[in-house]
Amino acid sequence: MYKACLFDLDGVLVDTAIYHFQAWKNLGKQFGYELTEEQNEQLKGVSRVESLNKILDWANYTATQEEKSVWLIEKNEDYLRLISNMNPSEILPGVLSFLEQIKALGYKIALGSASKNAEIILDKTGLTPWFDLIIDGNKVSKSKPDPEVFLKGAEGLGIAPEECIVFEDAQAGVEAAKAGNMKAIGIGESETLFLADKIIPNFIGVKAAELLQF
Ligand code: B16
Ligand code: MG
């Protein structure tokens, strides 16, 4: 009955959260703020502009529109520098075997990421050929937990939302999948992903045919 798997990128297929963290930390120093790892957790799956707004809130800093525009560009330039050496070794453990299994089982595969840099990351890690469709931050106007990114994925594949399974590491992403009438498999901890239909810690040793039974 299920025909497509829709994957979030950061935190599911690759771990770019460390690079986002470094780039936001570097930026925070400009207004004297030290971002913590706990706060970085809350930025997972959140768009670039919303992430900046959250950090400014935590720092209690009222920025002008001009400052914000400059900082968004600076953060992204820093991030692009940090990911410039990414390579296939940064694909998270078990992911390639899982993709092989679902391809063999006949599932369509799409990306549903908030990142505007998703295509660069997929290319650098060699993941691009696995995808029938890529929906990223450049193709949506509403951020997760709005289901737009996943609904566009289903529509682009020509598959009903009810026949799609989403893989997400962020609470906002799981909410987006559920709001889109899809099954959600959380990758990570049950404390944050409790709304998911199933939760796995990672893809190591996962048998797709069993996991995708609902
Ligand atoms: P960018 P995902 C998200 O990707 C990241 O988790 C989040 O930390 C980041 O702020 C967002 O992409 C936007 O990324 O600045 O590259 O456009 O988890 O939805 O794949
Ligand atoms: Mg993510």
This prediction's pTM? 0.94
* pLDDT over 90 at 1, yes or no: no
- Residues with active-site annotation: 8, 10
Nearest CA to ligand 1 atom 5: 45
Cβ of residue 112 lying under 6 Å from some atom of ligand 1: no
pLDDT at 32: 93
First to last CA, the chain: 9
* Contacts made by residues 192-201, CB under 8 angstroms, sequence distance 24+: 192/41, 193/168, 193/169, 195/171, 196/168
Q: Which atom of ligand 1 is nearest to the CA of 76?
A: 15
Q: What is the mean pLDDT of residues 87-98?
A: 98
Q: Which atom of ligand 1 is nearest to the CA of 170?
A: 18
Cβ of residue 9 lying under 6 Å from some atom of ligand 1: yes
The pLDDT tens digits for 17-56 are 999 999 999 999 999 999 999 999 889 889 999 999 999 9
DSSP code for 40: H
CA of residue 9 to ligand 1 center, whole Å: 8
The pLDDT tens digits for 107-148 are 999 999 999 999 999 999 999 999 999 999 999 999 999 999
Q: Hunting for tokens 């990421």 — which residue is that?
A: 113
The pLDDT tens digits for 57-81 are 999 999 999 999 999 999 999 999 9
Q: What is the mean pLDDT of residues 151-166?
A: 98
Distances (CA, A) of 7 to 32, 36, 52, 119, 192: 36, 27, 24, 13, 18
CA of residue 44 to ligand 2 center, whole Å: 6
Residues with CB under 5 A from ligand 2 (ion): 8, 10-11, 45, 169-170
pLDDT at 198: 98
Alpha helices by DSSP H, the chain: 17-28, 37-41, 48-59, 65-83, 95-104, 118-125, 148-157, 171-179, 190-193, 208-211
The pLDDT tens digits for 193-203 are 999 999 999 99
